[in-house]
Chains A and B, each alone.
Chain A
Amino acid sequence: MQDKRTTLAEAIAAIPDGARLALGGNTLHRGPSAAVHELVRQVKRGLEVVKTAGAYDVDLLCGTGCAASVAAGFVGFETAFGMAPSYRRAVEGGAVEAKEHACYTVIAGLRAAVQGVPFMPVAGLGGSDLPAVRGFRRLADPYGAGEVVVVPPLVPDMAILHVQEADAEGNARIVGSRFEDVLMAQAARRVIVTAERVVDGACFEAAPETVAVPAFLVAAVVEAPRGAWPCGCAGCYDYDAEYLAAYVAASRDDESFRRFVAEHVLGLAGTPRPAPGNGAVAAVGAPRR
């Protein structure tokens, strides 16, 4: 058995600028927030974020300049906290490209990648302007009448998933909703798993069907208790409404957003922090004087 345990800092350091990252979870639930915080601390640039429905993860990566584009069906904090302020501002200002998908076309693109085929047909989309702006082509049905929209493969360079339990080799168990995590793990070139608990893999032998992602797909395992926070993690904790409300409120302008990130993301107590090296962390985090 290969022990793939590493630190969050090391796992994230392996991600180059410009990478296409698929993030597990959905809106306020089981997003890989600890890993996202580490992406911000390491000042990644030019990332493309792939997700069906994102919130804090996507918004934070847009607000801190890490993301260059977002391929997603929905970005928002749902009814409780509303629109994604930094995503919105970054797209409106031209800093981030919104590659809007229907959630199903994200799934279809991932499926094309999973199945190793050059494109995936998708039902629906009739009457929508999205296929035209995304450049999705229509093909004649080779076996019958009519046409179908086809989407190209969406191959993430890295999928980052936060799960409740993993073993040191990378077998990852998800409790409750799996969202698109399994597809992402299969579609991506590499997978990082962060887990609430790293457990002895022998305990999965009694019920291997509860393991969502097999170890052979996983490159790195990081034990990250509360690693979805401020998202919720089913069976472990609810999303942190107070923090998320404060985050959205602080995002009203650049200055207060920068202060909030400096205090809560760059300065998270007890989290391993890499040396900034190029000094850019300070540039992101420090309040303007």
Chain B
Amino acid sequence: MTTEAPAGGQNGAASPRPDGEPRGTDPATMMAVAMARLLRSGETVFHGVASPLPMVAALLARRLHAPDLIYLTIAGGVGARPERLPVSTVDPALLHGARALVTLTDLFDLSARGRLDVAFLSGVQIDGEGRLNLSVIGDPVRPKVRLPGGAGSAALMPTARRVILWRTKHDSRVFVERLDFVTAAGNVDRVVTPLCVFARRSGRLVVESVHPGVTAEALRSATGFPIAVESGTPTTPAPTAAELAALDAIDPGRIRESEFG
């Protein structure tokens, strides 16, 4: 249960900015909103280290359409209601308002026995099957680039019921035909980027919706594996007034932008 008040504002089209761009179509806001819309009330939802956008998305979903979402983090707080959003997503700020505390071991075990509904994960490289690389560029033993490592992904991706990938950069070096190393593979449901939302169907990523203002050509050239963008491919709905109001309340400091270096 959440004790947060329902967000004010009306559902409907966002009011335009003076410059004519609809308010809230900046990449961080679009991504936070698109990720939040994928979450459902009652689900157990987990994110790990270095995950500001999933943090904002989970809190946004809980405030809007998923009041009984169970928010889980490495800090271990169950259903935390942070007073301020930290940039580090392991921060003790994510214990505030929690009424129970678990460990990271408990959370991996939860996923291992099939009870984790959603895990948010990311990759430095992501391929057309939704597999990811967070380990190395080049040779695994003597890499050209040693990346941070996959953290929980190799264990969570095959065991969480739904995995939502997010990545704040969408270009052909991120979305690649071939990974240098497969750190993790598994139950990818959606991939959210600054340009689009992919869904995984029959083992392949397909474009589910394209964000406002993104052309089919721009999306194709930014993606290293072949994708189909038909004339009928829907546009990701711009954030509603209610979504924007809730975001302003949850994330007034725009921590969601911290992943956009």
Point out residues on A near B: beta carbons under 8 Å.
Answer: 26-29, 52-53, 72-76, 78-80, 82-84, 87-88, 91-92, 94, 98, 100-105, 107, 111, 122-130, 133, 176-180, 182-183, 232, 234-235, 239
Contact = CB atoms under 8 A, between A and B. Distances in A.
A126 B186 contact: yes
Interface string B178-193: 0001111110000000
B87 A79 contact: yes
A80 B258 contact: yes
B161 to A, nearest CB: 13
B44 interface: no
A177 B183 contact: no
Contacts of B259: 79
B90 A28 contact: yes
A130 B183 contact: yes
Contacts of A27: 49, 88, 90
A103 B157 CA distance: 13
Contact of A29 (B88, B101, B146, B153): B88
Given A29-B91, A123-B112, A92 B145 contact: yes
Contact of A102 (B90, B131, B153): B153
Interface stretch (B35-43, B103-111, B226-234, B245-253): B103-111
A104 B75 contact: no
23 contacts: A26-B90, A29-B90, A73-B149, A73-B151, A76-B50, A76-B148, A78-B49, A78-B88, A80-B87, A83-B147, A98-B149, A105-B155, A107-B108, A122-B112, A124-B112, A127-B182, A127-B184, A128-B154, A176-B75, A176-B95, A177-B76, A178-B103, A232-B92
Nearest to B159: A124
Contacts of B159: 123-124
Given A78-B90, A103-B108, A87 B76 contact: no
Given A75-B148, A128-B183, A232-B92, A102 B155 contact: yes
Nearest to A92: B146
Contacts of A78: 49-50, 87-90
Contact of B148 (A74, A80, A92, A235): A74
A213 to B, nearest CB: 14
B104 A74 contact: no
Task: Point out which of B87, B88, B95, B101 has the most chain A C-beta atoms below 10 A from its C-beta.
Answer: B88
B104 A180 contact: yes
A133 B91 CA distance: 32
Contact of A104 (B90, B149, B155): B155
B27 interface: no
A180 B258 CA distance: 27
A74 B155 CA distance: 13
B158 interface: yes
B106 to A, nearest CB: 10
Contacts of B181: 129
Interface in B179-225: 181-186
B52 interface: yes
A75 B91 CA distance: 16
Contacts of A100: 135, 149-150
Interface in B107-123: 108, 111-113
A42 B112 CA distance: 41
Contacts of A83: 147-148
A102 to B, nearest CB: 4
B99 interface: no
A182 B105 CA distance: 11
Contacts of B17: none
B185 A124 contact: no
Interface string B55-91: 0000000000000000000111000000000011111
Contacts of A128: 150, 154, 157, 182-185
Contact of B88 (A94, A127, A179, A239): A239
B101 to A, nearest CB: 7
Contact of A234 (B92, B104, B157, B184): B92
Given A29-B91, A123-B112, A124-B112, A103 B152 contact: yes
Q: Rank and list the top 5 A-B pairs by shortest CB-CB distance, nearest first.
A: A127-B185, A104-B155, A76-B148, A123-B112, A124-B155
Contact of A72 (B101, B149, B183, B185): B149
A79 B50 contact: yes
A178 B75 CA distance: 8
Nearest to A90: B146
A230 B145 CA distance: 26
B156 interface: yes
Contacts of B91: 28-29, 232
Nearest to B87: A80
Given A104-B108, A176-B92, A92 B150 contact: no
Given A76-B50, A102-B152, A91 B143 contact: yes
A257 B163 CA distance: 39
Contacts of B182: 127-129
